[in-house]
A and B are shown apart, each in its own frame.
Chain A
Amino acid sequence: MKMTITEKILAKSAGKTFVEPGQNIWLNVDVLMTHDVCGPPTIEIWKREFGEAAKIWDKNKLVIFPDHYIFTKNPQANRNVSLLREFANQYGVDNYYDVGTDRYKGVCHLALAEEGYNIPGTVLFGTDSHTCTSGAFGMFATGVGNTDAAFILGTGKIWEKVPESMKFIFEGELPPYLMAKDLILRILGDITTDGATYRAMEFDGEGVFSLSMTERMTLTNMAIEAGGMNGIIAADAVTEAYVKERTNKEYEMFTSDADAKYHSIRKYKTAELEPVVAKPHSPDNMGTVRSIAGTKLTKCYIGSCTGGKLSDFQAAAKILLGNQVKTSTFIVPASTEVAKALEEETISGISLIDIFEKAGCIIAESSCAACLGGPADTVGRAKDNEVVISTTNRNFPGRMGSRQSEVYLASPLTVAASAITGVITDPRDFL
């Protein structure tokens, strides 16, 4: 029987030879990830249900990254991190990456990749809707609520309904003015925010496989914006190289059978696509950058799990090199590894960090920061009726702070070009 990559990985995890969409199956979880917002309530449910004798099913498979509300004076936020710290100490959780130590990593979804937890062919659950990001590594990854996470914490098992798969094929390599963000925003515009509900979104084609791992993560990251259960890209040599550099764990590479059954297949020719944005207030409110060029901005933001990776800053630096920003522009590296790379990577002999500083950008510490608004003292938070262009993934009312603010989502190229002019600008004007 023919299966998609998602079906094959789920079958393996369930100890079955064949699964099909609609079937509810029990999975053996390879990694459970949690963070400072959902970790404490998950631990609370776990203690309530498993009682005094509560045991973590496998300490090595639990990974905890404080990342959401980090550099703040907010007492509830800081209490959450303290709770995680105590929990990690008490139960000897080695994979805890504490704030204020040199183990601190930043945003969980990128940190999972960097620290070698993303292994092709495995199954990863996380208490965060963007857990689907890890699917870029040819693995099954999805978000769950606190009750489910508490159950995994105690048992290492969880049930899941095998999703139907949708396939998105991008033919031809990406032209220099397009990024993965343009592709996923385009898909969202076409299928809307419930277009993939309860389904797998599989990305395929030369346009996808010519991308770096971090660019691929931009695609899978936003599967949830279409209601998708998971996003997935088959592992290839690029994936293997990334994984081998970070871990010596074994991996297994799966691909979809040529005649596997899909809910639907969509094809795009990359040469025909244009830089796009998601206009306020929904990620599926797609329009071309040119159609709204000239819209006045008060803030530009490059950061988050979807838009604060090294490849995002390389793209932005390419445009900002030798230019000045007209609007306040925030550079928020998603992880401490990215922050370090900004000092080491160069364009024309100048480090990325120097390019950003000379251009007049504000550089912040690694965390989720203003991607989800956060406490009032969060760096880059949208205030009042600001108009923001951002490389993040959600622009619902109030998501980046003020409910009166307007947020446009775009690629780092588009955000950088717009930072220079102070109005929404097509990156082709600078390339």
Chain B
Amino acid sequence: MEKILEGKAFVLGNNIDTDQIIPAEHLVYSLSDPEEKKMYGKYALSSVPMEKSGLPNGGIKYVEAEKFDTEFPIIIGGANFGCGSSREHAPFALQIAGAKVIVAESYARIFFRNAVDGGFVIPYESVEKLNDKIKTGDEVKIDLEKNILLNVTTNEEYKLKPLGDILPILEAGNLFEYARQTDMIA
């Protein structure tokens, strides 16, 4: 796993539910066909209301029309990120779109678990509320060893809560890989 992640931030509000992340109508694409699989990226975060998509001003699509991936690998969310249905497609769609890490105040439990156990995206928790401090498009750098987020654009630094015991799962790739590496399973 990379120790430093950098790129542009995409900022969202509270209660981003799994329907906003990947609407139910798009759950039909095959996961084994690479061409179809790309569609999950195309529609990632496509149901976030436009005025709340890319804060503070809104009106920014996570994945531009005609594209399959995003220019924003870092998502800054608020409270209760990933609430709603337990579909594993939600963190998966974000991964396919090119998201590497989410930094949110809190997560709905099953989304958080799915993100880690499926190895889709790193769910960091911020210490303080960040979605009113970082703007969509800001250059952001996350140090996974120091658990620090640096907003390169403003030169502000924020602490993140350490990933703790889930770090080895993320480093291994997913829960099953982790278990293989640690001889928990053959």
Which residues of A pack against B, CB within 8 Å?
Answer: 22-26, 49-50, 53, 129, 143-148, 151, 154-155, 157, 159, 161, 194, 197-198, 227, 229
Contact = CB atoms under 8 A, between A and B. Distances in A.
B165 A25 contact: yes
A282 to B, nearest CB: 12
A144 B110 contact: yes
Contacts, number: 69
B113 A24 contact: no
Contacts of B44: none
Contacts of A146: 88
Interface stretch (B5-13, B50-58, B135-143, B178-186): B178-186
B179 A155 contact: yes
Contact of B184 (A24, A155, A161): A155
Chain B contact patch, size range: 20 to 34
25 contacts: A22-B164, A23-B164, A49-B176, A53-B186, A129-B110, A143-B86, A144-B113, A145-B86, A145-B88, A145-B114, A147-B114, A148-B175, A155-B184, A155-B185, A159-B169, A161-B109, A194-B15, A194-B108, A197-B80, A197-B108, A197-B109, A198-B106, A227-B83, A227-B108, A229-B109
B174 to A, nearest CB: 8
Contacts of B114: 145, 147
B117 interface: yes
A280 to B, nearest CB: 18
Interface in B58-102: 79-80, 83, 86, 88
The interface centre, meaning the residue of B106, B161, B175 with most chain A CB atoms within 10 A of its CB, is B175
Interface of B: 15, 79-80, 83, 86, 88, 106-110, 112-114, 117-118, 161, 164-166, 169, 175-176, 179, 184-186
A53 B186 CA distance: 9
A169 B113 CA distance: 30
A50 B118 CA distance: 15
Contact of B117 (A50, A129, A151): A151
A148 B116 CA distance: 10
Nearest to B108: A197
Given A147-B118, A147-B175, A151-B175, A129 B109 contact: no
A136 B166 CA distance: 29
A188 B175 CA distance: 34
Given A129-B86, A143-B86, 12 more contacts: A22-B164, A24-B166, A50-B185, A144-B110, A145-B113, A145-B114, A148-B113, A197-B83, A197-B106, A227-B83, A227-B108, A227-B109
Contacts of A148: 113, 117, 175
A23 B167 CA distance: 12
